[in-house]
Structure 1
Amino acid sequence: MGEYGTIKIHLAELLEKSGMSKNKLSHRAELQRTQLNHYCNGTVTRLDVDVLARICTVMQCGIGDLLEFVPPEGEE
């Protein structure tokens, strides 16, 4: 974790809770499957606001449901 904290992406959990498949989400949100996998695995290095908006629209969730700021250790 960096000295400034990190952003945790909860897309995999949201997908599991909704019962929607990655294939369905990638089709509805017009995302490449590899791009979607990076968001699900938390390995994306730069967040794209357009992609986030598409995911939130299709998943019918808010940005706070999808992203979480985790402060650096020792700070709360």
Structure 2
Amino acid sequence: MEEDYGYLEIRLNELLKKKGLSKNKLSHKAEMNWKQIDNYCTNSITRLDVYVLCKLCTVLGCEIQDLLVFHPPGEE
């Protein structure tokens, strides 16, 4: 059923590498729990929190499309 609608990929891990930040450093800057950051990095969350997304984009100085990528159904 999920594959019928595609999926979202969270590219936080790639952004952290690009910005030269660790998960620990980001958790302090964004005032977030380290485990929450780790869950976003490993794409293991099921519900996105728009407040968290705003925090991440602000701290990382990126746009939402840098953080989230939609993969339509049938795309490998």
- Give the TM-score of the pair, scaled to structure 1: 0.93
Matched, 1:32 2:67: no
Q: What residue in structure 1 maps to residue 59 of structure 2?
A: 58
Letter in 2 for 1:32: N
* Structure 1 spans left out of the alignment, 5+ residues: none
* Structure 2 spans left out of the alignment, 5+ residues: none
1:25 shift after superposition: 0.5
Matched, 1:15 2:16: yes
State how far apart, in whole Å, the 2-side matches of 1:34 and 1:26 are. 9
Q: Percent identity?
A: 53
**Ranges of 4+ aligned residues in structure 1 off by more than 6 Å:** none
- Give the TM-score of the pair, scaled to structure 2: 0.93
How many pairs does the alignment contain?
74
